[in-house]
Amino acid sequence: MVLKDADSPRFLVIGTGSIGRRHVANLKGLVPGGRLAFLRHEARVDDFSSMMHAHVFGALDRAIEWRPTMAIVASPSDRHFDTLPGLLAAGIPTFVEKPVVIRAEDCAYLEGLRRVDLPPTQVGCVLRFTDLVARLKSWLDEGQLGRLIRARFECGQYLPDWRPGSDYRTSYSASRKRGGGVIFDLVHEIDLAVMFFGDCTLLHAVRDQRSSLHITSEDVALLHLRAADGLPIEVALDYVSRTPRREIRVIGEEATAILDFRTATLALHGPSGEEQRVVGTVSADAAYRLELAELLDAAHGRGMTRLPLHEGLKATRLAIAAHAFVDQGGDGN
């Protein structure tokens, strides 16, 4: 069926940097007849907005009057709160990139919103949408590792290699004020800890800027969390590793599980050298499409999203707490 222009789904995108453009491409693939609009300072038009045939608004109220079917908030992290409350109040199903916000008062405001009053929402922690994460969660739920002893989440990669063709020094990652730094930038690891082990408490945090990178944000951080049942959890993050590393290791009395995102493998090491190995089949591109498709379905009354706002705020709250721990006299700078 060919949609008439007036009947076509309308997608408002706030932030058209690398991740915003990725979401735009996925929207066009998921809903070929959809219409696009961008919210930009002074309604700035450029080659990208022209190529996408996108409306460009300079004010949120005008964009809301356009009656979007769904909104995507992919602006720098320190700007999410500029638009998120207004979108939610208008009842617009909203996808918001991680971290949701970076200030404690903004997080508290969002936590205080009644869930029953909110439209469908999805927080962009894309690793939740990979098959290996789902398989590891099932192993934990089934008790295949026995009594859990400890867990470790590690992610590190040299920041200048992240986005080929762009200057890392101008990215939001390099700016603490804009929400950069490994704690917020790599909040995926904290989110997965919450996904696997439930609500966690921050016990200790260290952050520092130890490399020669030209950034104002921290390039290394270590967080110690505790799950509700007492499980100790380590989160190790950096912008410096020349050999990229992203790994989850869960130690149990009966087996150890290791998920290596770089090689897309999940292994279960049991007693006497027994091993079960799974190779991932869900690509990063597919996972990004899936998180958007899930919100699109929820916006049309078809099911729930995997990471609605209040669930996504749990990792955000822990990341904010880690910064506060250091700022209020803990270890680090």
Position 165 scores a pLDDT of: 81
Q: What is the pLDDT of residues 108-130, one digit of tens each?
A: 999 999 999 999 999 999 999 99
Position 141 scores a pLDDT of: 97
Position 2 scores a pLDDT of: 35
- Burial, 217: exposed, middle or buried (Cβ in 10 Å; 0-12, 13-18, 19+)? buried
Q: What global pTM score does this model have?
A: 0.94
Position 24 scores a pLDDT of: 98
Position 164 scores a pLDDT of: 82
Position 3 scores a pLDDT of: 38
Low-confidence residues of the chain: pLDDT under 50? 1-4, 332-333
Position 332 scores a pLDDT of: 42
Domains belonging to the chain, first-starting first, are 5-125+288-308 (3.40.50.720), 128-283+316-327 (3.30.360.10)
Position 6 scores a pLDDT of: 52
Q: Considering only CA atoms, which of 270, 242, 250, 248 is closest in space to residue 260?
A: 248
CA–CA separation, 257 and 275 (whole Å): 10
Position 333 scores a pLDDT of: 44
Instruction: Check if the beta carbon of residue 132 is closer than 8 Å to that of residue 278.
Output: yes
